């Protein structure tokens, strides 16, 4: 009996994790695709609650459209159901991937006519194939591929390619700054080397002058001693 309870708890835990992942994915896709977001506005305004029934495998999931996104729950919320969608898991998967007409026709929807129409229209657009096409046609995606014009410090137009070019320009700017710093350090090192060379030369001259002076003093002392001794 304990093993059965643990098994049921594990199944519920796995189901909850799967629903959370699907909920996050559907919400992200719905918010990122402007076309699907527009088509879902009526459902969002009504806070539509849809009961989703699948076969092979048999599951019941409750879908709620809200301004925060799509909410999924395995338990029925404490409010009336607005519509019921019945279909096989295979047809639902095909509809979500490419939305072929053959799969959409096999999906049954019960509820008010206006709500059925809204769901049908949304299902025809809210699929991975259409969403990817919308992304490719969006200005955001084109900005990553098409060259845009910019102006350099001299007022000359610069052609670059979206964000990748901006990062490239920033990297080049940093490299140029580092190169200037290296050149300055190299010049400073050369100046220091020249100063050290000059100091060494002056020290050598002072040493030679000191030796000559010392030699002259010694010679003078020797000459003086010889003079007095003789």
Q: For residue 122, with 0-12 CB atoms within 10 Å meaning exposed, 13-18 middle and 19 or more buried, which class applies?
A: buried
pLDDT in the model for residue 2: 45
Cα(167)–Cα(162) distance, integer angstroms: 9
pLDDT lower than 50: segments of the chain: 1-2, 152, 160-161
pLDDT in the model for residue 32: 84
In the block, which residue shows the tokens 């100091």? 199
Please choose, from the candidates 134, 100, 120, 108, the residue with its C-alpha nearest in 3D space to the C-alpha of residue 30. Answer: 134
Q: Rounded to the nearest 5 degrees, what angle is found at the Cα of 138, between the Cα atoms of 136 and 143?
A: 90
Query: CATH for 2-137?
Result: 3.30.1050.10
| pTM: predicted TM-score of the whole model, two decimal places | 0.55
> CB 112: neighbour CB atoms within 10 A?
12
Q: Where exactly are the structural domains of the chain? A: 2-137, 164-229
Please choose, from the candidates 176, 95, 153, 150, the residue with its C-alpha nearest in 3D space to the C-alpha of residue 128. Answer: 95
The H or E element containing residue 80 is: none
Q: Are strands 49-55 and 59-66 parallel, antiparallel or unpaired?
A: antiparallel
* Paired residues of 72 in beta bridges: 63
Instruction: Render pLDDT for 165-205 as a digit per residue (tens, 0 to 9).
Output: 666 677 777 777 777 777 677 667 767 776 787 787 888 88
The H or E element containing residue 52 is: strand 49-55
Written as six digits, the tokens of 26 are 């559907």
Please choose, from the candidates 60, 64, 21, the residue with its C-alpha nearest in 3D space to the C-alpha of residue 40. Answer: 64
pLDDT in the model for residue 155: 52
Written as six digits, the tokens of 194 are 């020249």
Cα(73)–Cα(12) distance, integer angstroms: 12
pLDDT in the model for residue 53: 92
pLDDT in the model for residue 86: 93
């Amino acid at each position: 009996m304990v093993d059965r309870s643990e098994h049921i708890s594990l199944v519920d835990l796995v189901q909850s994790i799967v629903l959370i992942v699907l909920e996050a994915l559907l919400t992200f896709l719905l918010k990122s695709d402007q076309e699907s977001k527009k088509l879902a506005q009526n459902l969002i305004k009504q806070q539509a609650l849809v009961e989703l029934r699948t076969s092979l495998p048999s599951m019941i999931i409750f879908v709620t459209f809200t301004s925060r996104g799509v909410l999924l729950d395995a338990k029925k919320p404490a409010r009336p159901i607005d519509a019921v969608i019945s279909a096989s898991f295979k047809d639902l998967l095909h509809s979500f991937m490419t939305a072929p007409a053959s799969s959409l026709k096999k999906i049954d929807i019960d509820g008010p006519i206006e709500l059925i129409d809204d769901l049908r229209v949304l299902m025809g657009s809210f699929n991975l194939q259409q969403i990817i096409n919308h992304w490719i046609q969006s200005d955001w995606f084109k900005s990553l591929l098409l060259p845009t014009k910019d102006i350099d410090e001299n007022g000359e137009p610069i052609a670059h390619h979206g964000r990748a070019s901006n990062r490239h320009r920033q990297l080049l700017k940093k490299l140029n700054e580092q190169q200037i710093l290296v050149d300055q350090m190299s010049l400073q090192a050369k100046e220091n080397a020249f100063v050290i060379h000059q100091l060494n030369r002056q020290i050598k001259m002072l040493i030679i002058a000191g030796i000559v002076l010392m030699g002259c003093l010694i010679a003078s002392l020797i000459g003086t001693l010889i003079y007095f001794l003789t």
